């Protein structure tokens, strides 16, 4: 790669390269987000039980 | 005990022939749809026929096998089987064999009839029937495992095909293509050896896995 | 426990991912046959690799869980499955987007593509089965059997699909078989490592959630 222009056009393959990377990172981030949400929920559930138990 | 269970399976099917014959009828009815939906032209149907027959035989076989343990589960005889001191693996093998004799074998025979109606030439017919005779037991065994895993579940009817089909892809490939090889006048020996090998593998592993699956479901 | 390793994994993932992306998208020279289109390899191959590694991890964890009756192992299998399905999905989509400019179609019934598709269905089957059980422990064990049977079946599936495609078409769809120059290869290896670290990171997160959900009533949970 010599210039930003070349980088963005990907030698004419931009139509395929960038969506591929886009989909990949959307799915990767999505699964990461889902995993963290699951953990947060599990923690919240335990926390509410502990609080409820002390009352 | 093996023989007893086998006889029980056949006897049950004999008493309620409607249930046992459903897969065969499904097979015959569905295969009638292809000439109607595609074309009645023999030259166009002939090359497709082996693959079509294999796919329908697959679906028909799955239709019956997914409820293999259902009746036993409902009336409690599954419980007895689990509690009996005899090896569960053998009992499952007997049930699977009985099921194949009652539903699989008629489909293998029915396939000969359907093949005739779809203009399959005689030398291909032999390969087709032999392939089905080797392949449908594997499918029954896979179905036995899956129905053991899903026996207590409400969604079993939807879940079973989703689980069986990906696992049984190799059987379909080697089975359907042994018939196509025969049609092109090529040697089918290799495909049959692989099918037989898969049958042996399935016979040795799947009943034990199904036994484990039933015990797991029972413990809950 | 797992919480201690996570910051390291996060850091490693981000650094490797950044290095791999810069190397793959900017530094590596275009392929002499495929031009810049080959750059999809840097996400396609790592995710395809991971899709298989994850299934292997699941099968091993399942076997451990069934043989030694370790509940933790079943939690690993359950935590790994959704991540593996995501990787398989990425591998399929990027493969399709790569196939379009190279082969002219988004999909071909090529051996590797077909095996990958079946793998995706196996993941779906596992997830559907495990979630169908009202009781977690039963679902775990039923899923473990399926994972093991699936892992035994996968090489057979791959072999059969390969046999099938060689019947239908020659090796016309082979990728350029020339060995890769180093400048192209290192970003690929880095990206593989990055994906592996990302998997380990997510596995830790999901595993903690799974354990918290399972050991909901345990005493020690309260300390966290």
For the segment B19-36, what is each residue's pLDDT rounded down to a tens digit? 778 889 999 999 888 888
CB B175 within 8 A of CB B50: no
Min mean pLDDT across A11-20, A36-45, B166-175, B207-216 is at A11-20
In whole angstroms, give the CA distance from residue B201 to residue B134. Answer: 12
pLDDT level of residue A55 (50, 70, 90 thresholds) = very low
Q: Show the DSSP H helices in chain C as ranges.
A: 2-22, 41-68, 71-103, 111-132, 136-168, 182-214
Test A10 with C94 for CB contact under 8 angstroms: no
Q: What does the alpha-carbon distance between residue C95 and residue C85 come to, in Å, rounded to a whole number?
A: 15
Q: What is the pLDDT of residue A38?
A: 87
pLDDT at res. C173: 44
For residue C187, the Cα-to-chain-centroid distance in whole angstroms is 19
pLDDT-derived band at C171, boundaries 50, 70, 90: very low
pLDDT at C209 over 70: yes
**pLDDT at position B122, please?**
85
- The average pLDDT across C156-184 equals 65
Quote the ipTM score: 0.84
pLDDT mean over B15-22: 78
* pLDDT the model gives residue C60: 93
- Confidence band of C32 (pLDDT split at 50, 70, 90): low
Evaluate whether residue A1 is within a structural domain. Answer: no
Can chain A be said to touch chain C, i.e. do they have 3 or more Cβ pairs within 8 angstroms? yes
The overall longest dimension of chain B from CA atoms, in Å, is 58
Which of B47-56, C9-18, C63-72 shows the lowest mean pLDDT across its residues? C9-18
Q: What is the pLDDT of residue C6?
A: 73
Q: Which residue of C has its CA nearest to B208?
A: C145
Q: Does the distance separating the beta carbons of A50 and C222 come in below 8 Å?
A: yes
Q: Does C137 touch chain A (CB under 8 A)?
A: no
As a whole number, mean pLDDT of residues A20-42 equals 87
Angle between helices B17-37 and B105-117 (to 10 degrees): 20
Ordered alpha helix ranges (H), chain B: 2-15, 17-37, 42-65, 70-75, 77-83, 88-99, 105-117, 122-149, 156-167, 169-183, 189-219
Residue C172: predicted pLDDT = 43
Question: Do residue B149 and residue C145 have CB atoms under 8 angstroms apart?
Answer: yes
Residue of C96, C100, C205 to mutate when probing chain A, most A C-beta within 10 A: C205
Is the pLDDT reported for residue C42 higher than 80? Answer: yes
pLDDT value, residue C126: 93
In whole angstroms, what is the distance from residue C56 CA to residue C205 CA?
19
Confirm whether A4 is domain-assigned: no
Which of chain C's residues have a Cβ under 8 Å away from the Cβ of B167? 122, 149-150, 153
* Residues B191/B131, Cβ–Cβ less than 8 Å: yes
Residue A6 in any domain: the answer is: no
In a domain, A22, yes or no: yes
Report the pLDDT value the prediction gives residue C214, as an integer from 0 to 100: 78
Residue B43 has pLDDT above 90, yes or no: no
Q: Cα(B56)–Cα(C133) distance, rounded to whole angstroms?
A: 30
Decide if pLDDT at B81 tops 90.
no
What total of structural domains would you count in chain A? 1
Residue C87 or C181, more confident? C87
3-state secondary structure of C35: strand
Residue A48 lies in a domain: yes
CB atoms closer than 10 angstroms to residue B192: 18
Asked if the structure places residue A3 within a domain, the reply is no
Q: How far is A42 from chain C (nearest CA, A)?
A: 6
Whether the pLDDT of residue C86 is over 90: the answer is yes
- pLDDT in the model for residue C82: 93
pLDDT score for B17 = 75
Q: What is the pLDDT of residues B82-131, one digit of tens each?
A: 888 888 888 889 889 988 988 889 999 999 899 888 888 888 898 899 99
Tell me the chain C residues in contact with residue B206 when contact means C-beta distances shorter than 8 Å. 149
What is the structure's pLDDT at B135?
Answer: 92
- B177 and C167 within 8 Å at the Cβ level: the answer is yes
Residue A10 in domain: no
Please, which pLDDT band fits residue C221 given cuts at 50, 70 and 90?
Answer: low
| CA atoms lying within 13 Å on the CB side of residue C70 | 13
State how far the Cα of B42 lies from the Cα of B118, in Å rounded to an integer.
7
Alpha carbon separation from C46 to C20, C22, C24, C94 (Å, rounded)? 11, 16, 12, 11
CB contact under 8 A, C118 and B177: no
* Domain residue limits at A31: 16-54
Tens of pLDDT, residues B132-183: 999 999 999 999 999 998 887 888 888 888 899 889 888 998 888 888 888 8
Q: Is the pLDDT of residue C179 over 70?
A: no
User: Does residue A12 or residue B199 have the better pLDDT?
Assistant: B199
Please name the residue that has the structure tokens 């699964």. Answer: A31
Percent of chain C with pLDDT over 90: 20
pLDDT-derived band at A54, boundaries 50, 70, 90: low
For residue B42, what pLDDT is reported? 87
Whether the predicted pLDDT of B68 surpasses 90: no
Question: How many angstroms away from the CA of C74 is the closest CA of chain B?
Answer: 14
Which residue from B10, B33, B158 is spatially nearest to B95, judged by alpha carbons?
A: B10
């Amino acid at each position: 790669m010599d210039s930003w222009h070349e980088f963005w056009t990907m030698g004419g393959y931009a139509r395929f390269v960038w969506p591929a990377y886009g989909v990949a990172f959307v799915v990767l981030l999505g699964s990461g987000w889902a995993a963290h949400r699951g953990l947060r929920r599990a923690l919240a559930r335990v926390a509410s039980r502990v609080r409820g138990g002390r009352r | 005990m093996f023989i007893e269970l086998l006889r029980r399976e056949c006897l049950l099917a004999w008493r309620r022939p409607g249930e046992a014959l459903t897969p065969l009828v499904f097979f015959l009815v569905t295969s009638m749809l292809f000439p109607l939906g595609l074309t009645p032209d023999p030259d166009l149907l002939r090359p497709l026929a082996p693959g079509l027959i294999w796919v329908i035989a697959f679906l028909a076989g799955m239709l019956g096998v997914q409820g293999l343990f259902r009746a036993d589960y409902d009336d409690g005889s599954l419980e007895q089987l689990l509690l009996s001191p005899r090896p569960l693996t053998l009992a499952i093998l007997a049930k699977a064999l009985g099921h194949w004799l009652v539903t699989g074998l008629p489909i293998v025979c029915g396939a000969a009839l359907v093949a005739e109606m779809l203009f399959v030439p005689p030398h291909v017919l032999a390969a087709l029937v032999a392939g089905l005779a080797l392949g449908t037991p594997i499918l029954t065994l896979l179905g036995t495992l899956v129905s053991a895993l899903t026996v207590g579940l409400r969604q079993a009817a939807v879940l079973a095909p989703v689980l069986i089909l990906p696992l049984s892809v190799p059987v379909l490939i080697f089975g359907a293509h042994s018939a196509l090889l025969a049609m092109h006048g090529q040697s089918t020996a290799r495909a049959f050896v692989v099918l037989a090998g898969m049958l042996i593998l399935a016979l040795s592993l799947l009943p034990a896995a199904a036994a484990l699956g039933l015990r797991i479901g029972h413990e809950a | 426990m797992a919480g201690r390793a996570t910051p390291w994994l996060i850091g490693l993932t981000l650094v490797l991912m950044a290095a791999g992306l810069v190397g793959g998208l900017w530094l590596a020279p275009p392929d002499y046959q495929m031009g810049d289109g080959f750059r999809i390899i840097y996400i396609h191959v790592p995710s395809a690799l991971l899709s298989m590694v994850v299934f292997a991890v699941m099968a091993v964890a399942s076997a451990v869980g069934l043989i030694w009756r370790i509940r933790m192992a079943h939690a690993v299998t359950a935590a790994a499955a959704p991540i593996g399905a995501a990787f398989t999905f990425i591998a399929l989509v990027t493969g399709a987007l790569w196939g379009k400019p190279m082969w002219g179609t988004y999909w071909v019934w090529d051996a590797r593509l077909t095996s990958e598709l079946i793998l995706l269905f196996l993941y779906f089957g596992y997830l559907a089965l495990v979630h169908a059980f009202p009781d977690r422990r039963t679902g775990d064990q039923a899923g473990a059997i399926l994972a093991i049977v699936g892992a035994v079946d996968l090489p057979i599936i791959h072999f059969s699909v390969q046999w099938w495609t060689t019947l239908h078409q020659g090796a016309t769809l082979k990728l350029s078989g020339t060995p890769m120059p180093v400048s192209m290869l290192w970003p690929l290896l880095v990206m593989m490592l990055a994906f592996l670290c990302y998997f380990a990171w997510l596995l830790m997160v999901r595993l903690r959630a799974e354990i918290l959900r399972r050991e909901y009533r345990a005493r020690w949970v309260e300390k966290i």
